Amino acid sequence: MRSQNLRPRVMGVVNVTPDSFSDGGRWATPEAARDHALRLAAAGADILDIGGESTRPGATPVTETEELERVMQLITAIRARASVAISIDTMKPVVARAAVAAGASIWNDVTALRHAPDSLDTAAALGCQVVLMHMQGQPGTMQAEPRYDDVVADVIAFLAARAEAAVAAGVARDRIWLDPGIGFGKHPLDHNLPLLAGLERIVSLGFPVLLGASRKRFIGMLDGDAAEEARLGGSIAAALRGAEAGVAAVRVHDVAETVQALKVWAAIR
């Protein structure tokens, strides 16, 4: 299995939300979400990323109780049936704590542990792996007018500072992942494309990098305004670009197709 070690791991997206930008509402019942998650694991996902709150601009914020209701039953159901790693996509420490107690091993936080006063301390206490993602602004308004002096340099400075803040709070350095946050406070083309082109510079910070480009808007903009479910080719292109740059994992909706593309890419290399 030599090629296994050469390719990024695949994180499959499981959104249990009514309003996620690409798969919102499809897995809204617990059974549908569980079956979808198990299908992604069977298709080769190394990690399942469970999200109970959409980050799309205009999405309705959810309460802690509602988010816990959405994700906890699913995490427990997956843990009982598959050994796949589970990450919890949340900005709320209380949700991260419950998810880790139920078997999640990664806290994926799109706010890079800035959302709550106790985010950093919670991550340190949990001892799980933590994904620190770059986002300019807040989910509701982040796409209004994103601005950077030099998007790659600005994202690198932010991620390095958040990694240091996490380490200072007691998060072990070897548990930290970084993510450029494709689509989060970024112009679809002017900012996402330089970030994808400059991924090596983020990888060279020395932390594992997660890349989430699957089905995002820049792909539609590059291809005649393709709808979200018609962005598979572009999503795979972005995943392969991540692989070339040395990212540790890609966060994708289409697991089987991405795994196949990465297997072929790794075998050729």
Q: Which residue among 8, 10, 12, 15 contacts ligand HH2 (CB under 6 A)?
A: 15
Which residues within the stretch 198-227 sit at the binding site for ligand HH2 (CB under 6 A)? 210, 212
Give the distance from CA 256 to its chain's centroid: 17
DSSP assignment of 97-164: HHHHHTT--EEEETTSS-SSTTHHHHHHHH--EEEEE--SS-TTTTTSS---SSHHHHHHHHHHHHHH
CA distances from residue 43 to 29, 47, 68, 82 in whole angstroms, order as listed: 21, 11, 27, 12
Q: Which single residue brings its beta carbon nearest to ligand HH2?
A: 212
Token pair for 31: 């059974």
- The sign of the torsion formed by the CA atoms of 145, 148, 151, 156 equals negative
Examine residue 228 and tell whether it contacts ligand HH2 (CB under 6 A). Answer: no
Q: Which of 34, 163, 179, 185 binds ligand HH2 (CB under 6 A)?
A: 179
CA 70, 65, 105, 267 torsion-angle sign:
positive
| Binding-site member from 7, 12, 16, 17 for ligand HH2 (CB under 6 A) | 17
Q: Which stretch binds ligand HH2 (CB under 6 A): 10-18, 62-70, 155-163, 237-245?
A: 10-18
Residue range at the interface with ligand HH2 (CB under 6 A); choices 20-28, 120-128, 237-245, 254-262 = 20-28
- Under the binding rule (CB under 6 A), the answer on residue 251 touching ligand HH2 is yes
Which residue among 16, 40, 54, 95 contacts ligand HH2 (CB under 6 A)? 54
- Burial group, residue 227, by CB count within 10 angstroms (0-12, 13-18, 19+): exposed
Q: Which two tokens stand for residue 243?
A: 């692989």
Binding residue count for ligand HH2, defined by CB under 6 A: 21
What distance in Å separates the CA atoms of residue 173 and residue 170, rounded to the nearest whole number? Answer: 9
The region of 48-56, 60-68, 163-171, 240-248 touching ligand HH2 under the rule CB under 6 A is 48-56
Distance in Å from the first CA to the final CA of the chain: 14
Q: Which of 56, 79, 115, 241 binds ligand HH2 (CB under 6 A)?
A: 56
Residues serving a catalytic function are 216, 251
The 10 Å CB-count burial string (b at 16+, else e) for 33-42 is: bbebbbebbe
Q: Rounded to the nearest whole angstrom, what is the least distance from the CB of residue 210 to ligand HH2 in the complex?
A: 5
| Residue 235 interacting with ligand HH2 (CB under 6 A) | no
Given 51, 146, 185, 198, the residue binding ligand HH2 (CB under 6 A): 51
If the CB atoms of residues 51 and 185 are measured against ligand HH2, the closer one turns out to be: 51
Can you tell me which of 182, 195, 250, 261 binds ligand HH2, judged by CB under 6 A?
182
Q: Which of residues 100-129 bind ligand HH2 (CB under 6 A)?
A: 108, 110
Q: Which residues bind ligand HH2 (CB under 6 A)?
A: 13, 15, 17, 20-22, 51, 54-56, 89, 108, 110, 131, 133, 179, 181-182, 210, 212, 251
